[in-house]
Amino acid sequence: MVDGVRTADRASSTAAPRPWRLAMAEALYGANGFYARGQAPGEHFRTSVSAGPAFAEGILALLRRVDLALGRPDPLDLVDVGAGRGELLHAVATVTTTAEPELSGRLRLSAVEVAPRPRGPAADLRQAATVRWATSVPPQVTGLLVANEWLDDIPLDIVEQTAAGPRLVMVTPAGAESLGAAPAPADAAWLARWWPLRPGERGEVGRSRDEAWAGAVGSVRRGVAVAIDYAHRLGGRPAGGTLSGYRAGRAGPAVPNGSCNITAHVALDACAAAGRAAGATVTLLTTQRHALRELGVTGRRPPTELARTDPGCYLKALARAGEAGELTDPGGLGGFDWLVQGIGVPLPLR
Ligand SMILES: C[S@@+](CC[C@H](N)C(=O)[O-])C[C@H]1O[C@@H](n2cnc3c(N)ncnc32)[C@H](O)[C@@H]1O
């Protein structure tokens, strides 16, 4: 199961309480779900992709390293999983087409997205022949697979530890919660390994994310897979959980009625283990701040002298430094984690 959303999760609408995983799947990807209605992620929350072209420059720098490690294959894949409106691939294509025709000629761009494809003249341009759209990861990828803020949108169950043992948290579309049955043995085992709970605490069962990530890594024949997300690690899991809703740029309660995006931070350390089991030969778990700086995306301001000699260039460099500063801010996007896994190639980042 590469797409992380099981068919059974696409249950029909009901007002009865049900486990969070089903509720979230319906609220995001069901018939009237947030993403199924074609909501553009960038209109509801700011991701690194929507922060401007500096993020794509970092990904392109990473792609060049992967290309080199692979011996410049033809085709060279760049796969964006959870591609939203395809902005990242579009930005990479724009730079390579004009500045790197040799690379551009070998590049095979794939957008993997379950939401409806964007429509309209700008979207047509964005998708001009160069980008292949699919609802699941293509098999036999040779190159770079990127998943920016994908895993946090994979539906998951929530469990509360009671005196009688762990219980599934149930929820109605209006957001009213109650406790249900014990979680499935595989979920209980996941919690015991990755999110041990004390009485009264809640855990978010990341097994669905592990499976989704393992599917993505397993589709890479040779190359690198990168998951970028807000994350937590064993020993630092937030006791109350991280489930929240996003709508029109604001965080709010997670109400699974299709009106908002519902996300929960990702146990990327658990995903790393799943990726290793799926074939990753090397792994790095680091912050976006570190990764982007290593790739040359820094918030360094241009010399003020440039303002006098070339004001246009100075302003451009200043705007780019601002963008890079936002992407590497440790209190914001820079605090995201990067899970970088190589499949048959060395790590492209230190
Ligand atoms: C938070 S948005 C991120 C969009 C984009 N990557 C960005 O950074 O702006 C998550 C996207 O993942 C998509 N998605 C969720 N589950 C998916 C799946 N199983 N396969 C493909 N896309 C999926 C959603 O439809 C949504 O567009």
Confidence of residue 120 (pLDDT cuts 50, 70, 90): low
What is the pLDDT confidence band of residue 40, given thresholds at 50, 70 and 90? confident
Q: Is the pLDDT of residue 295 over 90?
A: yes
pLDDT at 216: 98
Q: Looking at the predicted structure, is the pLDDT value of residue 119 above 80?
A: no
Is pLDDT above 70 for 60?
yes
| Residue, of 5 and 194, whose pLDDT is higher | 194
pTM, 2 dp: 0.93
Cα 156 to averaged position of ligand 1 atoms, centre (Å): 15
Residue type for 253, please? P
Q: Is the CB of 50 under 6 A from ligand 1?
A: yes
8 A C-beta contact, residue 61 and residue 295: yes
pLDDT at res. 264: 97
| Mean pLDDT across 83-95 | 93
**Using CA atoms, how far apart are residues 76 and 89, in angstroms rounded to an integer?**
13
* Contact call for residues 58 and 292 (beta carbons, < 8 A): yes
* Cα–Cα dist 76/66, whole Å: 9
Tell me: the pLDDT tens digits for 189-211? 999 999 999 999 999 999 999 99
Task: Spell 79-88 as b/e; 16+ CB within 10 A means b.
Answer: bbbbbbbbbb
Both tokens of 132, joined, read: 């292949």
Which pLDDT value is given to residue 127? Answer: 52
Tokens of 315: 């302003």
Name the least confident of 72-76, 117-121, 345-349: 117-121
- Cis ω before 75 (30° cut-off from 0): yes
Mean pLDDT of the chain: 91
What integer pLDDT is reported at residue 81 of this predicted model?
98
- Our mutation pick for probing the ligand 1 site, out of 28, 150, 219, 326, counting the most ligand atoms within 8 A of Cβ, is 150
Average pLDDT over residues 160-181: 97
Q: For the chain, state the CA radius of gyration.
A: 21
- pLDDT over 70, % of the chain: 93
> How far, in Å, from the CA of 189 to the mean position of ligand 1?
27
Q: What is the pLDDT of residue 15?
A: 87
Is the pLDDT assigned to residue 268 strictly greater than 70? Answer: yes
pLDDT at 149 over 90: yes
| 92 Cα distance to chain centroid | 17
- For 304, the token pair is 């003020």
Distance 149 CA to ligand 1 centre (A): 7
Does any ligand 1 atom lie closer than 6 A to the CB of residue 299? no
**Token pair for 131:** 């980008």
The pLDDT of residue 123: 55
Ligand 1 binding pocket includes 9 (Cβ within 6 Å): no
Amino acid at 10: R
pLDDT in tens, 204-257: 999 999 999 999 999 999 999 999 999 999 999 998 899 999 888 888 899 999
Please give the single-letter amino acid code of residue 202. R
Q: What are the beta bridge partners of residue 74?
A: none
Sheet holding 244-247, edge to edge: 250-252, 244-247, 261-263
Q: Is the CB of 26 under 6 A from ligand 1?
A: no
